Chain A
Amino acid sequence: MGGISLNYLLRRLLVFFLTLWVAATLIFIIPRLAPGDPIAAMVARLSYQAGFVENSGAIIEGWKERFGLNDPVYVQYFRYLGGLLQGDLGFSMARFPSTVTELVGRALPWTIGLVGVATAIFFVVGNLFGALLAWNKTPRLVKVLIPMSMIFTSIPPLLAGLLLSYTFAFLLGWFPQTYSYGFGMTPGLTLEFIANVIHHGFLPAMAIVIVTFGYWALGMRGMMVTIEGEDYMILAQAKGLKPFYVLYRYMIRNAILPQMTALAVSIGTLVNGVVLVEVIFNYNGMGTLIVTALREQDFGLIQGTSFILIVTSALAVLIIDLSYPLIDPRISLEGR
């Protein structure tokens, strides 16, 4: 039993690679669709900020030569795709000796950690709350308290971040306002460092959780209501099974399947939110990196960071999609 049908696997892989290709192409084309010469404009802005404008023509030529911009567009395109395939994202323009890969490599784990923990929390809490909302054995008080806790559902994580940062970091001082760990901490697998990271990551993660879990609770409640009307629920009741067993083995088990699909669909939105939350908390992940790059007009870094975040999202979606047949026995049979 188990296993994933070939059709399903192929379709998911097709979507995955097409997503990467579309993203890479968009990132390649967009700067070239803009009016004027973006590289020239960027160099002009850079040099303006740096305070000298002489030699700008030579500088521009130098950049163009270095990035091969004098070649025909299709040559540039295939060279660019080839580079991506080898994991070469080019150089950061503002911090020249560093490659984009280096910078991204330092930022990405923090973002993945933040999103991963936040996702685990809101998915579990949201589905649990939703199940309790629909279950007929839930105490009345809980059924009143849960909707009240969902008041922030659907506001942007960014705004939740602002409110949390001001209240719990600035006013109350319970949590640090910025960064992923304290100054003077040496990163390592010490208990102290891990505690410090959790302390720093708590508010950013909460900013995502408090605006998101309600959405899952509502979805779960809707699924539970649908499932309560299914024939097998009546049989479960007739069988005299223990109520809690019916809740998790019959109701949640079946309701969680569409929730997994919904999780895959929501990854994109989630990443949007995380980027902005990082900015609010100056968290040293991909979001902050991309904003720094924006501020420094570092176009290579913007492209690279965006692309890697898109790859990460697509990978997350792929993993969820591929794990789906493992939890829904009906999928694995189709198209065998």
Chain B
Amino acid sequence: MEKQMENGSDRVVLKVEKLRIHYATPQGDVIAVSDISFNLYEGETLGLVGESGCGKSTTAYGILQLVQPPGYIVNGSIEVDGTEVLNLSEEELRKFRWTGLSLIPQGAMNSLNPTMRVKDQIIDVIESHEGEKQSKEQLRDRIYGLFQNVGLPNRIYDMYPHELSGGMKQRVCIAMGVALNPTVVIADEATSALDVVVQRIVAQTLVKVKDEIGVSLIVIGHDMGLLAQIVDRIAVMYAGKMVEIAPVENIYAEPLHPYTRLLIDSIPSIKERKPLKITEGITHDPRNPPSGCIFRLRCPFAWEHCAEVEPAPIDADYKHEVACHLYDERFEERRANAFATFANP
């Protein structure tokens, strides 16, 4: 909870603006990510959450320029340390990758090349970006250093991926992800496929490495409980829109957006049993999103205005934005009434 204070830098390292990504289908484009804008600050860890299909992974892959067909980027701007990623030529982009933006995939599964030794998969990324000038011993010592950072034993240096456990593979992916000291690291569901104990250890490894190297980190996940312990801010996505982005303590103490409230209320708790608030997924056709606010079809507080005007992000607090008309000063009265009835049904 205190971490955010220590890492409170105001320098923006990643600036995403109006990023829009579609998936082509014969019945028209599915809007996966709809004009998302946000900043990532130096040394910050940002969690990206939302239910399945909300576009959080597509956003990450869009930032990494890895959207696979039939997906494609419609428009937007992605600036890393002042470099516009979308304007890079193919070769410039190749060189930029991993030094500017790197990826920690869901490595427990299938992200490592099964026919290459662990060392070769780390060496290849070093050599293709720094040239082949380093000696074998230098490379080995450097990789041993990476192993130590993520708590891997040196003996796996010469092993193949199938000889490692899921947790080890995930750590290899973390070691690989930070091998070139990138500006921004994106961890895509890095802990999802692991069992609970290993999940926690890997998450701790992630935080430790991040703090040591001082990179900025985006963590994509759906486990709000786990995320709360490792991130500084949380961005909540719904149906391709970012509805709220807030420091982690704000979002748990007082979620603003109605969708965020539902999401937080749905975190299971040992102390009390409560009915699941979110009973259905995204209800509208992703090819024809509703007019105005994307969430109004499921929102308990929606009124006519929500169907007419799309809510713009409103600054609610320091580094805290919410895209909901209730927080427009003009509708303050309505907000007070709405929450009063919602709290006492």
Would A and B touch once assembled, by the CB under 8 A criterion? yes
**B109-A240 in contact (CB<8A):** no
Q: How far is the CB of B146 from chain A (nearest CB, A)?
A: 14
Q: How far is the CB of B23 from chain A (nearest CB, A)?
A: 15
Residues of B with C-beta under 8 A to A333: 162-163
**B128-A250 in contact (CB<8A):** no
Residues of A with C-beta under 8 A to B94: 240-243
Residues of B with C-beta under 8 A to A238: 64, 66, 97-98, 102-103, 105
Q: Of the candidates B106, B115, B129, which one forms a contact with A240 in the assembled complex, judged by CB atoms under 8 Å apart?
A: B129
Instruction: Map CB proximity to A onto B133-167 as digits: 1 under 8 Å, 0 otherwise.
Output: 00000000000000000000000001010110000
**B113-A250 in contact (CB<8A):** yes
**B128-A242 in contact (CB<8A):** yes
Decide yes or no whether A236 CB sits under 8 A from chain B.
yes
Known contacts A235-B105, A239-B128, A240-B95; A329/B66 CB under 8 A: no
Instruction: Map CB proximity to B onto A316-336 as digits: 1 under 8 Å, 0 otherwise.
Output: 000000000001111001000
Known contacts A231-B105, A239-B128, A241-B128; A330/B114 CB under 8 A: yes
Decide yes or no whether A64 CB sits under 8 A from chain B.
no
Complex formed: what's the CA distance from A330 to B162 in Å? 7
Decide yes or no whether A32 CB sits under 8 A from chain B.
no
Complex formed: what's the CA distance from A231 to B163 in Å? 18
Residues of A with C-beta under 8 A to B160: 1, 329-330
Residues of A with C-beta under 8 A to B97: 237-240
> Can you name the residue of chain B whose Cβ is closest to the Cβ of A228?
B68
A residues 233-256 touching B (CB-CB < 8 Å):
234-243, 245, 249-250, 253-254
Decide yes or no whether A174 CB sits under 8 A from chain B.
no
Most chain-A CB neighbours within 10 Å: which of B98, B115, B162? Answer: B115
Complex formed: what's the CA distance from A232 to B68 in Å? 14
Decide yes or no whether B116 CB sits under 8 A from chain A.
yes
Residues of A with C-beta under 8 A to B68: 234
**B124-A237 in contact (CB<8A):** no
Decide yes or no whether B125 CB sits under 8 A from chain A.
yes
Residues of B with C-beta under 8 A to A1: 158, 160
Complex formed: what's the CA distance from A60 to B163 in Å? 67
Q: Of the candidates A230, A237, A257, which one forms a contact with B110 in the assembled complex, judged by CB atoms under 8 Å apart?
A: A230
Residues of B with C-beta under 8 A to A328: 115
**A231-B95 in contact (CB<8A):** no
> Can you name the residue of chain B whose Cβ is closest to the Cβ of A242?
B128
A residues 190-249 touching B (CB-CB < 8 Å):
230-232, 234-243, 245, 249
Q: How far is the CB of B93 from chain A (nearest CB, A)?
A: 8
Decide yes or no whether B85 CB sits under 8 A from chain A.
no
> Can you name the residue of chain B whose Cβ is closest to the Cβ of A328?
B115
Residues of B with C-beta under 8 A to A239: 97-98, 102, 124-125, 128, 176
Known contacts A237-B66, A240-B94, A240-B97; A232/B110 CB under 8 A: yes
Residues of B with C-beta under 8 A to A249: 113, 116, 124
**A235-B158 in contact (CB<8A):** no
**A245-B128 in contact (CB<8A):** yes
Decide yes or no whether B96 CB sits under 8 A from chain A.
yes
> Can you name the residue of chain B whose Cβ is closest to the Cβ of A329?
B160
Complex formed: what's the CA distance from A240 to B180 in Å? 12
Q: Of the candidates A236, A237, A327, which one forms a contact with B113 in the assembled complex, judged by CB atoms under 8 Å apart?
A: A236
Q: How far is the CB of A239 from chain B (nearest CB, A)?
A: 5
**B115-A234 in contact (CB<8A):** no
Residues of B with C-beta under 8 A to A237: 66, 97
Complex formed: what's the CA distance from A236 to B128 in Å? 11
Residues of A with C-beta under 8 A to B124: 239, 241, 245, 249
**B113-A254 in contact (CB<8A):** yes
**B98-A232 in contact (CB<8A):** no
Most chain-B CB neighbours within 10 Å: which of A234, A245, A249? Answer: A234
Q: How far is the CB of A225 from chain B (nearest CB, A)?
A: 13
Decide yes or no whether B87 CB sits under 8 A from chain A.
no
Complex formed: what's the CA distance from A254 to B161 in Å? 14
Q: How far is the CB of B340 from chain A (nearest CB, A)?
A: 48
**B110-A231 in contact (CB<8A):** yes
B residues 203-260 touching A (CB-CB < 8 Å):
none
Complex formed: what's the CA distance from A231 to B111 in Å? 5
Instruction: Map CB proximity to B onto A87-105 as digits: 1 under 8 Å, 0 otherwise.
Output: 0000000000000000000
Q: How far is the CB of A96 from chain B (nearest CB, A)?
A: 55
Decide yes or no whether B112 CB sits under 8 A from chain A.
yes
Known contacts A240-B96, A242-B128, A245-B128; A232/B112 CB under 8 A: yes
Most chain-B CB neighbours within 10 Å: which of A1, A232, A327, A328? Answer: A232
Q: How far is the CB of B223 from chain A (nearest CB, A)?
A: 20
> Can you name the residue of chain A whose Cβ is closest to the Cβ of B129?
A240
Residues of A with C-beta under 8 A to B95: 240
Q: Of the candidates A234, A240, A243, A250, which one forms a contact with B105 in the assembled complex, judged by CB atoms under 8 Å apart?
A: A234
Complex formed: what's the CA distance from A327 to B66 in Å? 30
Q: How far is the CB of B63 from chain A (nearest CB, A)?
A: 11
Complex formed: what's the CA distance from A47 to B106 in Å? 78
Residues of A with C-beta under 8 A to B114: 232, 254, 329-330
Q: How far is the CB of B268 from chain A (nearest CB, A)?
A: 30
**B113-A240 in contact (CB<8A):** no
A residues 1-58 touching B (CB-CB < 8 Å):
1
Given A232-B113, A249-B116, 10 extra CB contacts under 8 A: A231-B105, A238-B64, A238-B97, A240-B93, A240-B95, A240-B97, A241-B125, A250-B113, A328-B115, A329-B114
26 contacts between A and B (CB under 8 A): A231-B110, A232-B114, A234-B66, A234-B105, A235-B103, A238-B64, A239-B102, A239-B124, A239-B128, A239-B176, A240-B93, A240-B94, A240-B96, A240-B125, A241-B94, A241-B125, A245-B124, A249-B116, A254-B114, A254-B115, A257-B115, A329-B115, A329-B162, A330-B160, A330-B162, A333-B162
Interchain residue pairs A-B with the least CB separation, the first 6: A240-B97, A231-B110, A238-B103, A329-B160, A231-B111, A240-B94
A interface list, Cβ under 8 A from B: 1, 230-232, 234-243, 245, 249-250, 253-254, 257, 327-330, 333
